[in-house]
């Protein structure tokens, strides 16, 4: 029996010690996993998310990120990174900017899901391929929030037209992978910043047939494992009503638990690549942080536009006023607000890590993993500045044989 199955057994046997324990980078099963995948914990962030009172916590997080960033940059860069757009999905405007923005007409905007492929060397010098955010649109449609939204849109006159305006499919994750020149066998790991509207069965495969399918799903990326924060996986296993609408409740049915690589806290996968724990939007949220020839980039869904991280520069009506009225440095993507203060702190952690964009140094190199579409039809709710994607180096197939 593996440690992951053991922890599952423990949690279902009501002794939830394993899932509620404070994140501890030295937890034995986490340590074993990290050495197995050539990763390591980040001691600079030990305990900072538990500090109280809250003003002190924010200061500690900012200081830890400032300190870690120096070491992170010195350690090196990733081999290559490339993003590909996957699909456009509807999203309520009032969630996107914490109710700061109201529009008279269609209260929905489109967010573009983007998959990011990163190649790096792990701490043992082994080349690795990570796929970040391989969203399968059919899986997202199963989450209660989206299935209810679709029923609503189908009912209203002109609903089909509205769907056409809002929905757009670019590339399914397997097609997106081939667009960067890779096969499923090239992938070592996949990960999502959090598991809202994700169905792990469609990524990792399942022994049971998903209702509506004719056969059990095969894994999308061969033997690749899904890196997941312990708190995010435990959330999906044990949903609270305040979380339910955003998760695919049956997403773990028939999925082999050994396919998950479960970690705690903050980890660095190799020189120039880290997964930072950024709780708030969800308990187990994490952000991808990579070092490139242009410096540090961060990606997550704490915002859906740079306007969320830099509201003082925003031209979207209401966002800069939110910043000024409340004296807040960020304006969160706020569909859940599981813990709004934590999300605020996490966005400061991200802002502290990110470097400025050489093309326009007012803006930070933060790439929303799901980004507000820069489409005129949604004006004035369009990003004030949009990176549109990321590309450095050359993604190579067959890296696994080079170890």
Residue closer to Zn ion, measured from CB, 41 or 280: 280
Residue closer to Zn ion, measured from CB, 78 or 202: 202
Least separation in angstroms between CB 338 and Zn ion? 10
Least separation in angstroms between CB 281 and Zn ion? 5
Least separation in angstroms between CB 116 and Zn ion? 17
Write out the DSSP string of 57-118: HHHHHHHHHHHHHHHHHHT---SEEEEEEEEEEEEEHHHHTTT----SS--EEEEEEEEEEE
Residues 6+ apart with CB under 8 A from 105: none
Residue closer to Zn ion, measured from CB, 196 or 217: 196
Least separation in angstroms between CB 193 and Zn ion? 8
62-75 in b/e form (b: 16+ CB < 10 A) is bebbeebbeebeee
As a whole number of angstroms, the distance between CA 282 and CA 226 comes to 18
Pick from 233, 131, 239: which is nearest to 185 by CA? 131
As a whole number of angstroms, the distance between CA 323 and CA 20 comes to 34
Residue closer to Zn ion, measured from CB, 33 or 96: 96
Least separation in angstroms between CB 49 and Zn ion? 18
As a whole number of angstroms, the distance between CA 57 and CA 48 comes to 6
Binding residues for Zn ion (CB under 5 A): 196
Least separation in angstroms between CB 336 and Zn ion? 6
C-beta nearest to Zn ion: residue: 196
Residue closer to Zn ion, measured from CB, 176 or 304: 304
Residue closer to Zn ion, measured from CB, 187 or 306: 306
């Amino acid at each position: 029996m593996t440690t992951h199955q053991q922890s599952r057994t423990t949690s279902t046997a009501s002794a939830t010690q394993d899932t509620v324990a404070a994140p501890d980078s030295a937890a034995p099963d986490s340590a074993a996993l990290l050495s197995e995948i050539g990763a390591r914990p980040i001691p600079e962030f030990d305990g900072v998310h538990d500090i109280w009172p809250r003003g002190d916590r924010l200061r500690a997080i900012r200081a830890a990120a400032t300190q870690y960033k120096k070491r992170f940059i010195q350690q090196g860069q990733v081999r290559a990174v490339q993003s590909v757009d996957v699909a456009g999905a509807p999203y309520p405007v009032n969630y996107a900017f914490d109710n700061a923005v109201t529009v008279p007409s269609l209260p929905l905007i489109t967010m573009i899901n983007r998959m990011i492929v990163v190649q790096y060397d792990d701490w043992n010098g082994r080349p690795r391929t990570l796929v970040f955010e391989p969203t399968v649109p059919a899986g997202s449609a199963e989450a209660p929030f989206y299935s209810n939204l679709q029923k609503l849109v189908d009912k209203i006159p002109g609903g089909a037209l509205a769907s056409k305006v809002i929905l757009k499919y670019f590339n399914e994750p397997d097609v997106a992978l081939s667009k960067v020149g890779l096969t499923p066998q090239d992938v070592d790991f996949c990960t999502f910043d959090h598991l809202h509207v994700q169905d792990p069965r469609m990524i990792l495969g399942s022994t049971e047939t998903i209702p509506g399918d004719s056969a059990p799903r095969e894994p999308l990326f061969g033997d690749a494992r899904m890196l997941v924060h312990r708190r995010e996986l435990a959330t999906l296993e044990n949903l609270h009503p305040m979380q339910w609408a955003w998760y695919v409740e049956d997403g773990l049915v028939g999925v082999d638990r050994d396919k998950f690589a479960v970690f705690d806290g903050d980890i660095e996968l190799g020189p120039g690549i880290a997964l930072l724990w950024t709780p708030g939007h969800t308990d187990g949220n994490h952000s991808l942080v990579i070092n490139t020839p242009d410096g540090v980039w961060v990606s997550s869904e704490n915002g859906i536009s740079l306007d969320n991280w830099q509201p003082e520069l925003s031209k979207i009506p209401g966002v800069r006023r939110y910043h000024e009225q409340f004296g807040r440095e960020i304006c969160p993507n706020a569909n859940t607000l599981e813990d709004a203060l934590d999300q605020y702190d996490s966005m400061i952690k991200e802002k502290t890590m990110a470097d400025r964009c050489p093309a326009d140094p007012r803006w930070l190199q933060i790439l929303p993993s799901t980004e507000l579409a820069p489409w005129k039809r949604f004006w004035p709710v369009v990003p004030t500045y949009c990176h549109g994607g990321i590309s450095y180096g050359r993604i190579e197939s067959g890296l696994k044989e080079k170890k």
